[in-house]
Structure 1
């Protein structure tokens, strides 16, 4: 790794560490500088939201109903598995549904394209982006469209598939497109990050933005999460509690074969492994593996949506062999990018998550059913 790249990585890691820190900024330290930028950023975001609310910035409407899945913090709160769950639920209710994703870092991000027509996956992860491709492979009977301009992507979806409802993945801050239902996810472990706005913290907007939400969904509400209570917020709508259920896929290509069969998370227990991931919060992934009983002899944390190359994989393999690892473990999001790169010398286990509910399943289903029924009765929207 070059000195320049090492220095950049060191700075990025330092900023990430500060963004997770709950302590007070030291006078004239890096955190103080970031805090000053956070104040400016918060003011800009508040003015931006106000301009959209008052019509100074124009908004557009699609001639169908729109449900947004989003969050208020940078980083993973489980938006993608929730978008999959909500789309499946909407289809079970009898509506025609299409999912739209931005396609971050995919070649189609700046344009629009059909990732899946609900029968066949038409774009790979390099074109679609890792998350839209993952959604398309999970939703075998629901079309998936990609594009950073959600209005244009929505019009393509309407032209091709005539949906009753469009589900937007990660769109709470995409105020240019009107929506009928905003579901905002908050990670139970740190609902508001460290309470600071970017770049001092992880908040994408001031917490007052939650007034736009129709419901909040706390994610990762397991026993390890601690308190079941939100920090003080000016939000009076319904709040639901969900959990992330780990799902294991065993994939072995050391002999040229692979298996995508589901397995219980306990299959990792007492297995010596090297794990790697490129997520917004890699630590949570690694911690979940340890809690599942895996013996991690080495873990590699890459940036979110990391574009793997053969050098990355060679480095991982060298450490796996040197540490006597039985298996490699990664996420489903990373697997779709690394699968074609190299012939795998060890069995690979990929871990994905599904949305589960404790006691809130009936109430969330009732809320979603009623909300969709109400918006479907409203007159069609026009720009």
Structure 2
């Protein structure tokens, strides 16, 4: 959906509330069937960590998956990441990376798995990454070829057909206010939080809006955000040196929440002269890039700055190496609960 289309949908979404009621009924029945064993849940012969949310996009699942995978890799564990590969132009099983090489681009595997593969190979993290609609079958295929200690499921809170040993749910305060699909972006009602073993709230606002939905004293509660690690030039290892204060930039992104990207840049003292917002998982055309470059020249910006996910989507546009295009590299940081989450993971893989 285009940005204009999203704005129209937001204004008219109350008309869709009757369909959201039907959606709630279907989702509630589906969850009951899983709870009572009517629907089968399959189990992989390795520990499984799931990372997901209850809204469509924008809660930072990929950085959290990367944080967990990096933590496990630094412990010497062989990590495999399984994703559906949203937005790809292929179907079925695709091996994205064997930990040393990348076999698929963003069009074949999706922008987020490709982003993780680029990071893994660049940093020597050796993550095995695959995409498939059926993540259980993908896991079995990987076990036939690789030594794997632990699986991480990306965006899998709703995929209840595969067993997980730790179920991590990411959420922010906007999730409480959202309607269910199709009148809103919420995939499940707030009552679904009771399934989570770990609940990670994004932002310093904390727990006031969520505590009543969480059941059990053993649920790990985290509050997290993101920190800017570095600004890297497209197709190069050149870093934009600090200080960033007053650096004149054109900013653009096609992610779940463009405003979060802008906030990150403002918090790091960039001077945003102009920004462009594109839909999540957007496929950029050469005309889009020409428009951004023209705007950069018009307003006198020093660089063009985007996200790591957008860089993954633009990876085939090698001509951009001749322009001052940079992307931000971020990492999860915990304000509380980070050590408890580490202990939860350690208890699974020791």
The answer to whether the superposition gives a TM-score over 0.5 is yes
Query: Does the C-alpha gap of structure 1 residues 128 and 286 become closer, same or farther in structure 2, counting only changes over 3 Å?
Result: same
Among 4, 14, 19, the residue aligned to 1:10: 4
Aligned alpha-carbon RMSD (Å): 2.2
Query: Which residue number in structure 1 is paired with residue 189 of structure 2?
Result: 206
Alignment of 1:1-383 (within 5 A): 10-15=4-9, 17=10, 30-108=12-90, 110-139=91-120, 140=124, 141-187=126-172, 190=173, 192-219=175-202, 221=203, 225-231=204-210, 232-236=212-216, 237-251=219-233, 258-262=235-239, 266-341=242-317, 343-344=319-320, 346-373=323-350
1:151-185 deviation digits (Å, cap 9, x = unpaired): 12111111111312211011000112122211111
Question: What is the distance in 2 between the residues matched to 1:193 and 1:212?
Answer: 17
Cα drift, residue 137 of structure 1: 1.9
Question: What is the distance in 2 between the residues matched to 1:363 and 1:78?
Answer: 20
Query: Which residue number in structure 2 is paired with residue 23 of structure 1?
Result: none
Query: Does the C-alpha gap of structure 1 residues 337 and 234 become closer, same or farther in structure 2, counting only changes over 3 Å?
Result: closer
Structure (1 or 2) with the larger CA radius of gyration: 1
Structure 2 SS opposite 1:216: strand
1:9-28 deviation digits (Å, cap 9, x = unpaired): 5333222x45xxxxxxxxxx
Question: What is the distance in 1 between the residues matched to 2:73 and 2:312?
Answer: 26
1:247-297 deviation digits (Å, cap 9, x = unpaired): 233316xxxxx5324556x54321221111000111111222123222222
Question: What is the distance in 2 between the residues matched to 1:52 and 1:319?
Answer: 52
Query: Which residue number in structure 2 is paired with residue 26 of structure 1?
Result: none
CA contact (8 A) 1:51 1:57 kept: yes
Structure 1 SS opposite 2:177: coil
CA contact (8 A) 1:194 1:201 kept: no
CA contact (8 A) 2:47 2:348 kept: no
Query: Does the C-alpha gap of structure 1 residues 340 and 93 become closer, same or farther in structure 2, counting only changes over 3 Å?
Result: closer
CA contact (8 A) 1:60 1:151 kept: yes
CA contact (8 A) 2:206 2:223 kept: no
- How high is the TM-score relative to the length of structure 2? 0.90
Cα drift, residue 372 of structure 1: 4.0
Question: What is the distance in 2 between the residues matched to 1:320 and 1:86?
Answer: 37
Structure 2 SS opposite 1:68: strand
Question: What is the distance in 1 between the residues matched to 2:68 and 2:190?
Answer: 24
CA contact (8 A) 1:102 1:147 kept: yes
CA contact (8 A) 2:222 2:335 kept: no
CA contact (8 A) 1:114 1:122 kept: yes
Cα drift, residue 348 of structure 1: 1.5
Where do 5+ consecutive residues of structure 2 fail to align? none
Structure 2 SS opposite 1:319: helix
Where do 5+ consecutive residues of structure 1 fail to align? 19-29, 253-257, 374-383
CA contact (8 A) 1:182 1:212 kept: yes
Mean Cα displacement is larger for which, 191-200 or 157-166? 191-200
